[in-house]
Amino acid sequence: MKLSAAEETLMQHLWKREKAFMKDLLDAYDDPKPAVTTVATLLKRVIDKGFISYREYGNSREYYPLITRNDYFSTHVNGLIRNFFNNSAAQFASFFTTETQLSASELEALKDIIDQEIQKRKS
């Protein structure tokens, strides 16, 4: 399931803290901060989507993510590859390396990562 941009921003704040109360989340936003009701609405939507849950302490709720940032990102990258690159990671990599402004050193670093992963999978 996909999150809206506002929901993703909320999740970014929660991922950074690992768990947070409403006040913590509000404090995480830059000025001008969103209204409490806006954050409450976002929290409800993200809870309904199954991305976060909470523990109750009296009248307060401590929110925590149910999905990691890496899992969320991985799902979306894989969806991008499936939907826009005919399920071909090679087409995605070709596009990524030719259509972005990566420096030669960044491309070398990517090549090293790929070479290391190839060696792991051969072992």
Task: Please spell the DSSP secondary structure of 58-115, one letter per residue.
Answer: TTEEEEEESS-HHHHHHHHHHHHHHHHSTT-HHHHHHHHHHHS---HHHHHHHHHHHH
Per-residue confidence (pLDDT) for residue 123, from 0 to 100: 86
pLDDT band at 1 (very low <50, low <70, confident <90, very high): confident
Q: Would you tell me how many other CB atoms lie within 10 Å of the CB of residue 73?
A: 10
Cα 29 to Cα 98: distance, rounded to the nearest angstrom: 35
Per-residue confidence (pLDDT) for residue 73, from 0 to 100: 92
- The backbone torsions φ and ψ at residue 22, rounded to the nearest 5 degrees and listed phi first, read -50, -45
Per-residue confidence (pLDDT) for residue 91, from 0 to 100: 92
| Distances in whole angstroms, Cα of residue 47 to Cα of each of 16, 41, 43, 111 | 18, 10, 6, 39
Tell me the per-residue pLDDT of 77-101, one tens digit each, with 9 for 90 and over: 998 899 999 999 899 989 988 998 8
Q: pTM (2 decimals)?
A: 0.78
Check if the beta carbon of residue 13 is closer than 8 Å to that of residue 28.
yes
Cα 89 to Cα 67: distance, rounded to the nearest angstrom: 24
Best CATH choice for the domain 5-65 from the list 3.30.160.160, 1.10.260.40, 1.10.10.10, 1.20.1250.20: 1.10.10.10
Tokens of 12: 């970014």
Cα 71 to Cα 92: distance, rounded to the nearest angstrom: 19
Per-residue confidence (pLDDT) for residue 50, from 0 to 100: 96
Tell me the per-residue pLDDT of 35-79, one tens digit each, with 9 for 90 and over: 999 999 999 999 999 999 999 999 999 999 999 999 999 998 998
Residue count of the chain:
123
Per-residue confidence (pLDDT) for residue 22, from 0 to 100: 96
